[in-house]
Amino acid sequence: MEQMRKERIDRGLKVRTEGLYAISSYREILYLMGPRLLLIVGVLALPFIFELAPYWKRVINIMFVYALLALSFDFLANYVGLVCLGGAFLTGVGGYFSAIYNVYLGFPFYLAIPCATISGAVLCTLCLLPCLPLRGVYFAIVTLMYPLLFTRIIEALDIFGGTNGITGVDGFPNQYVEHYIIILVVIGFLFGMRRFVNQDIGLVLRGVKDNDQSVKASGIDITRMKVLAVFVASLIGCFGGAYMAHLYMWAGISLFALDFSIIPIASVVIGGGGTLVGAVIGSFILVPLSEILRAFGTFRIVIYCVILTGFIVFKSEGLMIYMQRKYHQFERWVKV
C-alpha cells in the first residue's frame, strides 16, 4: 500500500516573516480582512440577532465580560509569562470602585466606570507589586488568594454594605447602551492588545516571558516591565468588573466569585493561548454553553468537565490556532 502524508504549504502572501504581507489584489485584501470583519460585524450584530430573547441578551453581556477577563489572562500568561489566577480579584476591585464612585460620590456611570477602571488597576497593581520581582509560582498563588482575602475583609469589617453589598448603583439608560459599551470595549481591547504585543514595547514583554535573564542583561528593569503588564491587564479586568456593577445595579462579594478566575482560563484553553482572539472566541463558546447546561442542574459541571478534558486531550493547541493554520496553509496529500 502506498503511504501518503499531508503536505502543508503557506499561501504566498507572507513575506519572509510573520506579520509581513505582500498584497497585490482585492482578493488578497479580502482574504486578510475577511475573518476580522466577520468577527467585528458578527459581534456588533449579536444584540439584534437575539432581539426577541431578552434572557440571552443578558447572557451576551456577561459573555463579553468573560471575554475581557480571558483577554487579560491570555495577555499576561502567554505574552508576559505571568499566570494570573485572580480574574475575580480584578472584577471585584473594579466593581466595588465603580459602585463607590457612583453611590457614595455621586459620579454618573459614564464617569464612574473609567475612574473605577483606572483606580482599580492602580490598586490591583499595588497589591501584586510585592510578588513581581519573584520568579515561579508565587504570582499565581497570590492572585488566587487576593479575592478570598478581600471577600473576608469586607465580611469581617462590614464595610461597603458587608454581605449585602452596595445597592442602588445606577443602571444603564437603555439596553443598547448596555450592549454596545461592552461590545465596543471588547473590540477595542482585542485589536488594541494585538497591536500592543507587536509593538517594540510588547516585544520586550514577550522577551521577559522567553528569557528574563537576557532582558536583564540588556539593561532593562524587568520588574518595571512586569508592573506595566499587570497594570494593562488589570485595566481590562477592572473595566469588566465596573461594567458588571452597573449591569446588576449592585456590587457585592459575588463579584469576587471563583467563576471569574476559572472560566476565563478555560476559555483560553479552548480558544488557543497566545492568539488573543482565541480567548474571546473561547468565552463565546463556554459562557453560552454553561447557560444551556444550566437545565441539567449540578450535572452540568460533569458535561462541562468532559468538554474541557476533550479539548485538552484532542485539541490542546486550541481552536483558534487550529483554524488559523487551516486558513493560512494549503494542505494536500502527497506520496511519501
Residues that bind other proteins (CB under 8 A): 16-18, 200-201, 203-204, 206-207, 209-211, 213-222
Least distance to other proteins from the beta carbon of 17, Å? 4
Helix then strand then coil, in percent of the chain rounded to 5, is: 75, 5, 20
Min dist. Cβ of residue 16 to other proteins (A): 4
- 12 vs 108, beta carbon nearer other proteins: 12
Comparing CB distances to other proteins, the nearer of 23 and 220 is 220
- Supply the minimum distance, in Å, between the C-beta of residue 14 and other proteins: 10
- Check if the beta carbon of residue 154 is closer than 8 Å to that of residue 162: yes
| Shortest distance (Å) from residue 203 CB to other proteins | 5
Distances in Å between the Cα of 145 and the Cα atoms of 87, 128, 250, 295, 304 are 11, 11, 23, 31, 25
Backbone torsions φ then ψ of 4, nearest 5 degrees:
-120, 150
- Minimum separation from the CB atom of position 332 to other proteins (A): 23
Q: Across the strands, what pairs with 330?
A: 9
Closest contact distance (angstroms) between CB of 281 and other proteins is: 21
**Tell me, what DSSP letter sits at residue 171?**
-
| CB nearer to other proteins: pick between 65 and 225 | 225
CA 255 from centre of chain: 16
Nearer to other proteins among residue 38 and residue 203 (C-beta): 203
- Counting beta carbons within 10 angstroms of the beta carbon of residue 104, is it exposed (0 to 12), middle (13 to 18) or buried (19 or more)? exposed
What is the DSSP annotation of 35-85?
HHHHHHHHHHHHHHHTTT-HHHHHHHHHHHHHHHHHHHHHHIIIII-----
Q: Cβ closer to other proteins: 58 or 209?
A: 209
81: region left, alpha or beta (phi > 0 left; psi from -120 to 50 alpha): left
Taking the least distance from each CB to other proteins, the nearer of 58 and 194 is 194
CB of residue 68 to other proteins, shortest distance in Å: 24
Rounded to a whole number of angstroms, the minimum distance from the CB of residue 209 to other proteins is 8
Which residues are 332's β-sheet partners? 7
User: Which of 151, 134, 168 has its CA nearest to residue 246?
Assistant: 168
Min dist CB 328 to other proteins, Å, is: 16
Nearer to other proteins (CB atom), residue 112 or residue 215: 215
d(CA 124, CA 51): 37
Closer by beta carbon to other proteins, 212 or else 291 = 212
Rg (CA), the chain: 21
Tell me which DSSP letter residue 169 carries.
-
Q: CA-CA distance, 204 to 207, in Å (whole number)?
A: 5
Whose Cβ is closer to other proteins: residue 69's or residue 222's?
A: 222
